[in-house]
């Protein structure tokens, strides 16, 4: 072999060596280029709690979006300037934000780089699309909009009911993860949804967020790192969120929730969603820890939840600060406290946990919800167990007491009382008392009391009381609810809900609630915030949608309408209709005989007209419609304006400034009553021996020019009709002998044109 090599041509050997060197250099250059590839990531996070009429308003859509954004900014390499957050958008606003983001992506696009965009949505949806208020963003249109983005990788994460409809067309296909790793060359799209097409997506008061987003964020913080390499891939995060969401919702009232996905990605490498090594602080949970972990920050907010199996450690990426970690296992509850600092990862082992007493919580109105009994003795769990395992019992005593949870009928000649949970009915003559949550019927002649939450009906001859209720309270005297309730209160005297009532109060005398949908009474309705108030006397609310009263309505803020003789509102976005309307700030013109509007017209005009009458008029209302009150005294002929005659007029009118403030034209109709007080003869007209009244109809077109603020000059022309009144004739006419009316003595009507000029002060 050596001889053969020695015989080879020297130049050929050099060429081979050169080629090998060039190949190695090219390979090294390629690796370097791959490592130096520029990745730009963008996030559009949209939240919408309101999904239109007939749909419950969500509470945590915005906080879900914020949690998703925060974990990507902290651990996913997303720059703050590349994040767009939108709350309660319309369809047009949603589309506009996508277009604006697309322009930014196209503008910042660099050769050799990779652009990745995530569109996150938390809110309502159905089989047709996203429900944005009263509008629907169709699935097809949304998908087309996302597909058209000028990004290499496009991801949509949709947490909403029926969101799986967007993935139905192509189904969920498992492929490698795709988000962050620089060595990958991924291009394509991925759609991740919180549920299938026919399922409801659910949120939890305990989590203060949705089951899916909460599980997804926990997975991204490290709970989903199955491989233990410090990175969370999409497959890992999705699988963790799928398992956790399904486990938490299998026993809920909404039913099991199955996240789904549709992906079409091409490339090499294993791209990850988040990198735990990018966090300066973190928590390493040891191999010996096993059970469900709840990790809360200093404010008590749940930042991560996971089930930890023994035998492998879990590393979580968390911001520096103090945290409490709760460990729950069957019949065992422990807690530990840890402090995380920058550039330091805290270690947590089984020995650091201390035993605690299980707390009891209340989940209202969820008897059908089989709560997670492993998480403690909850009200939902207790009621569910009683419903499915409790034995139906019927008891009767003079005073029937029961300390145990019961299911069935409890009767007492005088009193019934249960100290634990109850499903069923209590019947007695004097009093029924439930000291814990009860679902069913309480019927008595005197008093029904439920210390905690009550679901069903309370019927008494005197008083019903509940800590809170879902159902109905009926009493001739008084119904009382202490906390947020839902249903109907009916009383012959008084209903009181100290907190919010999602329902109706009906009473002849008084209804009071901090917040309610509707109140109906004959005397008084009072609420901090009300939907509809109807009464014969007085409605009072700090904020109200609709108030209807025979006498008086008072509202700090009016949203829709007030109808009454007297309406008063600090701010009115709706319409006031009545005899007298008073409004500090009106967005719509009140309709009434007298309208006093703080941000409207309130001015006084002193003027002289063709009859020789010196008048003062007061304008109140808005530029669209104002009320005018006027009084005038005629100046006696031949006195050179030094003496008034014994004829005066006063009246009421309506006018408009054609919707314009400041210098303006105005059109006004005024009905004036003209009256004479003393006997005297006039060469043109005879005044009777008794007082009398005529009617003066006047149509006026004028112009007011503002000289400076709150001061102007007014001038205009009039058309006048005087009609003979009752008793003796009292006629008025133009003062000037060159300005006469069109009529003769004895006519019942007189017609003439006229003019006026004067000074206006005030807001006009």
d(CA 581, CA 539): 14
Once rounded to an integer, what is the mean pLDDT over residues 493-521?
94
Confidence at residue 684, expressed as pLDDT on a 0 to 100 scale = 41
Distance of alpha carbon 4 from the chain centroid: 88
Helix-helix angle 139-147:91-108, to 10 degrees: 10
Q: For residue range 516-553, what is the model confidence (pLDDT) as tens digits?
A: 999 999 999 999 999 999 999 999 999 999 999 999 99
d(CA 486, CA 480): 13
The DSSP element (H or E) to which 67 belongs, if any, is: helix 61-75
The bridge status of strand 575-586 relative to strand 552-572 is parallel
Q: Phi-psi bin for 430: left (phi > 0), alpha (psi -120 to 50), beta? A: alpha
Q: For residue range 222-236, what is the model confidence (pLDDT) as tens digits?
A: 887 877 788 887 778
Q: List the beta bridge partners of residue 315.
A: 284
Q: For residue range 278-300, what is the model confidence (pLDDT) as tens digits?
A: 777 888 888 888 888 888 888 77
What would the two tokens of residue 69 be?
């954004």
Once rounded to an integer, what is the mean pLDDT over residues 114-122?
87
- φ, ψ of residue 646 to 5 degrees: the values are -95, 20
Least confident range from 60-74, 362-376, 452-466, 723-737: namely: 362-376
Give CA angle at 419 (416, 421), nearest 5°: 105
Mapped onto helix, strand or coil, the DSSP state of residue 82 is helix
Confidence at residue 20, expressed as pLDDT on a 0 to 100 scale = 46
Confidence at residue 751, expressed as pLDDT on a 0 to 100 scale = 85
Confidence at residue 398, expressed as pLDDT on a 0 to 100 scale = 93
Distance of alpha carbon 454 from the chain centroid: 27
d(CA 222, CA 233): 10
The bridge status of strand 485-491 relative to strand 494-507 is parallel
Q: Higher model confidence: residue 343 or residue 378? A: 343
Domain boundaries, the chain: 38-278, 281-355, 601-763
Question: How many CB atoms are closer than 10 A to CB 161?
Answer: 24
Residue 641 burial by Cβ neighbours in a 10 Å radius (0-12, 13-18, 19+) = exposed
Contact 314, 308 (CB under 8 A): yes
Q: Higher model confidence: residue 744 or residue 173? A: 744
Confidence at residue 28, expressed as pLDDT on a 0 to 100 scale = 46
Task: Write down the residue that tokens 């003595």 correspond to.
Answer: 745
Confidence at residue 362, expressed as pLDDT on a 0 to 100 scale = 31
- Which CATH class for the 601-763 domain? mainly beta
What would the two tokens of residue 235 be?
């497959």
Once rounded to an integer, what is the mean pLDDT over residues 372-381?
49
For the stretch 344-367, what's the b/e string if a residue is b when 16 or more beta carbons lie within 10 angstroms of its beta carbon? ebbebebebbeeeeeeeeebbbbb
Residue 301, pLDDT > 50, answer: yes
Once rounded to an integer, what is the mean pLDDT over residues 678-694?
46
Helix-helix angle 211-218:234-249, to 10 degrees: 140
- φ, ψ of residue 122 to 5 degrees: the values are -130, 125
Task: Read off the pLDDT band of 504 (50, 70, 90).
Answer: very high
Task: Read off the pLDDT band of 515 (50, 70, 90).
Answer: very high
Q: Which residues contact 746 (CB under 8 A, 6 or more apart)?
A: none
What would the two tokens of residue 353 be?
């946990």
d(CA 124, CA 693): 68
Once rounded to an integer, what is the mean pLDDT over residues 316-341?
83
Dihedral sign, Cα of residue 507, residue 510, residue 516, residue 520: positive
Q: Higher model confidence: residue 542 or residue 127? A: 542
Confidence at residue 25, expressed as pLDDT on a 0 to 100 scale = 46
Task: Write down the residue that tokens 């991801």 correspond to.
Answer: 155
Task: Write down the residue that tokens 């990507």 correspond to.
Answer: 72
Residue 268 burial by Cβ neighbours in a 10 Å radius (0-12, 13-18, 19+) = exposed
Task: Read off the pLDDT band of 62 (50, 70, 90).
Answer: confident
Residue 16, pLDDT > 60, answer: no
Confidence at residue 314, expressed as pLDDT on a 0 to 100 scale = 86
Q: For residue range 180-192, what is the model confidence (pLDDT) as tens digits?
A: 444 445 566 677 7
Confidence at residue 441, expressed as pLDDT on a 0 to 100 scale = 96
Confidence at residue 357, expressed as pLDDT on a 0 to 100 scale = 58
Task: Read off the pLDDT band of 329 (50, 70, 90).
Answer: confident
Q: Which residues contact 399 (CB under 8 A, 6 or more apart)?
A: 412, 413, 414, 415, 416, 417
Task: Read off the pLDDT band of 14 (50, 70, 90).
Answer: very low
Contact 659, 618 (CB under 8 A): no
The DSSP element (H or E) to which 140 belongs, if any, is: helix 139-147
Confidence at residue 378, expressed as pLDDT on a 0 to 100 scale = 52
Distance of alpha carbon 344 from the chain centroid: 41
Mapped onto helix, strand or coil, the DSSP state of residue 575 is strand
Q: Higher model confidence: residue 179 or residue 432? A: 432
H helices within 578-634, ranges in order?
none
Q: What is the DSSP letter of 97?
A: H
Task: Write down the residue that tokens 């009752």 correspond to.
Answer: 726
What would the two tokens of residue 347 be?
């270690």
Contact 619, 728 (CB under 8 A): no
DSSP string covering 436-500, please? S-EEEEEE-SSEEEEEEEEEEEEE-SSEEEEEEEEEEEEESSEEEE-S-EEEEEEESSEEEEEEE
Residue 92, pLDDT > 90, answer: yes
Residue 476, pLDDT > 50, answer: yes
Confidence at residue 702, expressed as pLDDT on a 0 to 100 scale = 96
Residue 114 burial by Cβ neighbours in a 10 Å radius (0-12, 13-18, 19+) = buried
Once rounded to an integer, what is the mean pLDDT over residues 750-755?
87
Once rounded to an integer, what is the mean pLDDT over residues 488-509?
94
Q: Which CATH number fits domain 281-355: 2.60.40.1120, 3.40.50.720, 1.10.730.10, 3.30.70.120?
A: 2.60.40.1120
Q: For residue range 410-462, what is the model confidence (pLDDT) as tens digits?
A: 999 999 999 988 999 999 999 999 998 999 999 999 999 999 999 999 999 99
Residue 562, pLDDT > 90, answer: yes
Average pLDDT, the chain: 80
Once rounded to an integer, what is the mean pLDDT over residues 733-750?
62
The DSSP element (H or E) to which 344 belongs, if any, is: strand 344-348
Residue 173, pLDDT > 50, answer: no
Once rounded to an integer, what is the mean pLDDT over residues 311-337?
83
Distance of alpha carbon 59 from the chain centroid: 9
What would the two tokens of residue 25 be?
């250099």
The bridge status of strand 354-355 relative to strand 524-535 is unpaired
Confidence at residue 363, expressed as pLDDT on a 0 to 100 scale = 31
Task: Read off the pLDDT band of 204 (50, 70, 90).
Answer: low
Confidence at residue 722, expressed as pLDDT on a 0 to 100 scale = 82
Q: Which residues contact 642 (CB under 8 A, 6 or more apart)?
A: none
- φ, ψ of residue 379 to 5 degrees: the values are -60, -40
For the stretch 702-711, what's the b/e string if a residue is b when 16 or more beta carbons lie within 10 angstroms of its beta carbon? bebeeeeeee
Confidence at residue 359, expressed as pLDDT on a 0 to 100 scale = 43
Nearest residue to 401 (alpha-carbon basis) of 413, 419, 414, 386: 419
Fold annotation for 38-278: Rossmann fold (3.40.50)
Question: How many CB atoms are closer than 10 A to CB 147?
Answer: 10
């Amino acid at each position: 072999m050596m001889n053969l090599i020695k015989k080879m041509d020297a130049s050929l050997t050099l060429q081979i060596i050169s080629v090998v060197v060039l190949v190695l250099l090219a390979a090294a250059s390629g690796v370097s280029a791959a490592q130096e590839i520029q990745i730009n990531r963008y996030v559009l996070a949209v939240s919408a709690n309101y999904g239109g009429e007939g749909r419950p308003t969500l509470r945590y859509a915005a906080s879900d979006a914020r949690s998703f954004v925060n974990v990507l900014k902290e651990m996913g390499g997303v720059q703050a300037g590349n994040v767009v957050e939108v709350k309660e958008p319309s369809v047009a606003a949603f589309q506009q934000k996508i277009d604006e983001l697309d322009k930014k992506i196209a503008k910042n696009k660099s050769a050799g780089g990779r652009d990745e965009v995530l569109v996150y949505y938390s809110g309502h949806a159905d089989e047709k699309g996203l429900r944005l208020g009263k509008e629907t963003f169709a699935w097809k249109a949304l998908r087309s909009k996302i597909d058209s983005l000028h990004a290499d990788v496009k991801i949509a994460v949709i947490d909403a009911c029926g969101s799986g409809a967007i993935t139905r067309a192509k189904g969920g296909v498992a492929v490698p993860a795709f988000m962050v790793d620089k060595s990958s060359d991924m291009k394509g799209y991925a759609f991740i949804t919180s549920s299938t097409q026919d399922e409801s997506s659910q949120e939890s008061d305990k989590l203060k967020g949705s089951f899916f987003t909460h599980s997804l964020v926990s997975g991204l913080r490290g709970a989903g790192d199955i491989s233990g390499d410090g990175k969370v891939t999409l497959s890992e995060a999705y699988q963790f969120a799928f398992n956790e969401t399904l486990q938490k919702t299998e026993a809920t009232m909404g039913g099991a929730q199955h996240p789904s996905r549709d992906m079409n990605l091409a490339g090499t490498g294993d791209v990850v969603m988040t990198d735990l090594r990018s966090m300066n602080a973190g928590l390493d949970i040891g191999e010996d820890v096993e059970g469900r972990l709840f990790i809360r920050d200093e404010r008590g907010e749940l930042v991560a939840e996971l089930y930890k199996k023994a035998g492998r450690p879990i590393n979580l990426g968390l911001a520096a600060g103090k945290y409490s970690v709760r460990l729950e296992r069957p019949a065992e509850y422990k807690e530990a406290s840890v402090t995380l600092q920058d550039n330091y990862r805290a270690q947590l082992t089984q020995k650091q946990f201390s035993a605690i007493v299980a707390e009891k919580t209340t989940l209202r109105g969820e008897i059908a919800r089989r709560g997670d009994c492993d998480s403690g003795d909850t009200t939902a769990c207790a009621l569910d167990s009683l419903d499915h395992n409790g034995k139906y019992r019927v008891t009767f005593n003079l005073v029937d007491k029961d300390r145990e949870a019961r299911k069935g009928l409890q009767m007492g000649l005088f009193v019934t009382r249960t100290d634990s949970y109850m499903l069923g009915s209590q019947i007695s003559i004097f009093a029924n008392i439930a000291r814990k949550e009860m679902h069913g019927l309480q019927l008595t002649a005197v008093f029904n009391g439920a210390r905690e939450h009550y679901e069903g009906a309370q019927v008494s001859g005197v008083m019903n009381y509940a800590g809170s209720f879902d159902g109905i309270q009926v009493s001739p005297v008084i119904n009382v609810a202490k906390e947020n309730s839902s249903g109907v209160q009916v009383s012959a005297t008084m209903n009181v809900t100290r907190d919010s009532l999602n329902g109706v109060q009906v009473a002849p005398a008084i209804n009071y609630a901090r917040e309610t949908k509707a109140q109906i009474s004959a005397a008084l309705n009072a609420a901090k915030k009300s939907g509809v108030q109807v009464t014969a006397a007085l409605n009072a609310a700090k904020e109200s949608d609709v108030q209807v009263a025979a006498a008086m309505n008072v509202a700090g803020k009016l949203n829709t309408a007030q109808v009454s003789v007297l309406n008063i509102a600090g701010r009115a976005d709706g319409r006031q209709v009545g005899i007298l309307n008073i409004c500090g700030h009106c967005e719509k013109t009140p309709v009434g005989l007298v309208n006093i509007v703080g941000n409207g017209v309130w001015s006084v005009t002193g003027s002289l007209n063709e009859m020789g009458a010196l008048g003062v008029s007061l304008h109140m209302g808005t530029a669209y419609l104002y009320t005018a009150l006027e009084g005038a005294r005629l100046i006696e002929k031949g006195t050179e304006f030094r003496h008034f005659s014994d004829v005066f007029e006063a009246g009421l009118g309506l006018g408009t400034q054609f919707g314009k403030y400041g210098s303006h034209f105005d059109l006004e109709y005024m009905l004036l009553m003209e009256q004479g007080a003393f006997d005297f003869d006039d060469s043109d007209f005879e005044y009777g021996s008794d007082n009398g009244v005529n009617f003066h109809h006047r149509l006026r077109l004028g112009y007011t020019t503002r000289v400076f603020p709150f001061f102007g000059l007014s001038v205009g022309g009039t058309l006048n009709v005087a009609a003979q009144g009752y008793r003796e004739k009292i006629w008025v006419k133009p003062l000037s002998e060159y300005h006469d009316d069109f009529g003769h003595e004895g006519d019942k009507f007189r017609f003439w044109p006229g003019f006026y000029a004067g000074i206006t002060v005030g807001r006009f």
